[in-house]
A and B are shown apart, each in its own frame.
Chain A
Amino acid sequence: MDLDLTKVKTYGDTLNDGALQVSFTLPVPAGDEAKEAARQIALKMGLEAPAVTKMADLGAGFTFFVLYGKCTHTVDYSKIKIPKQQQKVLSFKEVNALIKNKLGRKVAVVAACTGSDAHTVGIDAIINMKGYKGEYGLERYSEIDAYNLGSQVPNDELLARAVELNADAILVSQVVTQKNIHLENLTELIELAEAEGLRDRVLMICGGPRISHELAIELGYDAGFGAGTLPYHVASYIAAELVRREKNGK
């Protein structure tokens, strides 16, 4: 059978067999009734011919299940379009070389955990000399002067320090919970920067476990970095963007 990208189906053993595996826990004790309950849940989920292949007693009246079944749905893969990030990543050495050769001056960055946030491990991972996962932090870059202001820094203070240190970039770390407070702390910094006429003078970058480039655009930042970010990802972005802006004459 040929693969039809307009009708893609889950795959187990042969093309288009629709086979898939699901796992979940039910708050009932293990046994025949529990097994039947798990099968019925899978049927209600729309799976064909669901079969329990594993049932494990979790104790305290909870049971864990693994089921196989067949999915009847298909998706049109050929019509899926996802906007993708466009960014080249440079190494530690390449970043330093780019700054030295193309900018011909040191780059200053100011970093902080703002508002009520005290989760400093993330921003420290990016800034501190020793870095993260074997990658040097920005403090170690010969062409970057990095200032880490620590945690719970008010937005107006961060802006004032950034101007005082003649920063090229402001780096903000926020854990962003479901509640809007962290988001609004991030947007307030941008709004303040706009009101103070600083928005076009510095790169504004945010980061944290729930942050993505797309969320950063929504928040009004130039870039955003999420889980798994390494210091050179951030350094490359800053160096490349500063060079690009200098070329554009702004």
Chain B
Amino acid sequence: MSELYQLVNSQKGKATAIVGMTKNVGKTVTLNSLVKEYEMSGTALGLVSAGYDGERFDRLTLKEKPRIYAPRGAIVATAQACFNAAEADLELIEVSSFSTPLGPVCLARVKKAGLVELAGPGSVSGLKDLIEKMISFGAGHVLVDGAINRIASASPQVTDASILASGASLGPTMDDVIKKTVFRRALLITPLLNDQAMYKAAREGLEKGNAVLLHREGSGFHADPVTGMIPLLAGAQLIGMCNEETSALVFGGALVDNILQDVMDLYENPPLIIVNDATRLFISPEIYYRFLGKGGEIAVLEQFNLLAVTLNPTDPCGRGYDPQMFLNRMEEAVKPCPVFDLVYQEQTVL
């Protein structure tokens, strides 16, 4: 049993997301490794992709890609055309209402193991719905393969835990790859808001508006909700309303550079920034670290559960790193988060 599998399997949740820092960092290798372990353990898996996985060649680089093996008994969700073309023997359970250019996403049970291409629904709400369905049809756990650098499928509203895949194709040097991975992890592990009264006020405020201003009032907080056309615009309005007594700014949607920049321009000691979860943070490293440098803090209402980082030391379009050195350096940089190079570690065990 691999350590990664034990980590995933020790979680109570229904679904685990595998997300990547960019293309070609080994998301599908990580998925396949877990699929094999689940197959040996006898647990029926649910398999779905946040994008499109398992095709033979990369659509842009034309290089060969790892394919997806679906074990017998697994439940897969994939577009109709992929269902029809699967090498595995699939039995249709249900045609969902989510459409793709390759036909509606179908739920199917694997009768005979084999390769499948997974083309998922475009939206996170679609993924959420399909995960529920796969569980109801008997999947013991669902694995959600990520797409490119998208992480919305790892939102705590969709999946219970996540694995972050990183690798050589992320940047020109090992230092750069490590720096970018460290930054992404820093955002993902943004802490849960631990002030109960503030938490309650933020939640209640977000029910009435897209962004909320919190001021201390007695032993609790007074919430001023703002309803903009979209949360981003409501957030921009908040900036005009803050004052010296403001305790926290709550953003119901995305938090972008401009907003954080405006907050820093206004305050010497910025108030607490609250977002729903870490997938709502769209901030560049420069702005983020400057904000922290000013004593700024960000908290989330729902915690992201990052289980591990996996590494691919080679870039299919170029350079590769010494796997042991890469592993050691990444481990050091993201401590105490476990780091795996599944291919290399399997080879060295043998």
Contact = CB atoms under 8 A, between A and B. Distances in A.
B136 to A, nearest CB: 20
Interface size bucket, B side?
Answer: 35 or more
Nearest to A225: B101
A86 B231 contact: no
B102 A84 contact: yes
A184 B284 CA distance: 14
A156 B232 contact: yes
B63 to A, nearest CB: 11
A198 B230 CA distance: 8
A184 to B, nearest CB: 6
B147 interface: yes
B80 A86 contact: yes
A218 interface: yes
B282 A192 contact: yes
B211 to A, nearest CB: 11
A241 B232 CA distance: 28
Interface string B131-154: 000000000000000011111100
A222 B230 CA distance: 21
Contact of B124 (A184, A199, A224): A199
A171 interface: no
Interface stretch (A5-13, A43-51, A102-110, A209-217): A209-217
A217 B122 contact: yes
B102 A180 contact: no
A84 B230 CA distance: 37
B102 A213 contact: yes
B305 to A, nearest CB: 18
Contacts of A216: 101
Contact of A215 (B59, B81, B125): B59
Contacts, number: 145
A220 B229 CA distance: 23
Interface string B213-244: 00000000000000001111100000000000
Main SS of chain B's interface residues? loop
A160 interface: yes
A217 B102 contact: yes
A218 B59 CA distance: 10
Nearest to B229: A163
Nearest to A164: B229
A85 interface: yes
Given A86-B103, A160-B233, A81 B84 contact: yes
B152 A218 contact: no
B60 interface: yes
A214 B233 CA distance: 33
Contact of B147 (A163, A198, A212, A220): A220
Nearest to A184: B149
B152 A191 contact: yes
Interface in A175-228: 176, 178, 180, 183-184, 187-188, 190-192, 194-200, 204, 210, 212-224
Interface string B257-299: 0000000000000000000000110100000000000000000
Given A178-B60, A220-B51, A241 B99 contact: yes
A248 interface: yes
Contacts of B50: 220
Given A156-B232, A214-B59, A221 B282 contact: no
Top 9 closest A-B pairs, CB basis?
A83-B81, A81-B85, A213-B101, A218-B51, A195-B254, A196-B253, A218-B52, A194-B152, A217-B52
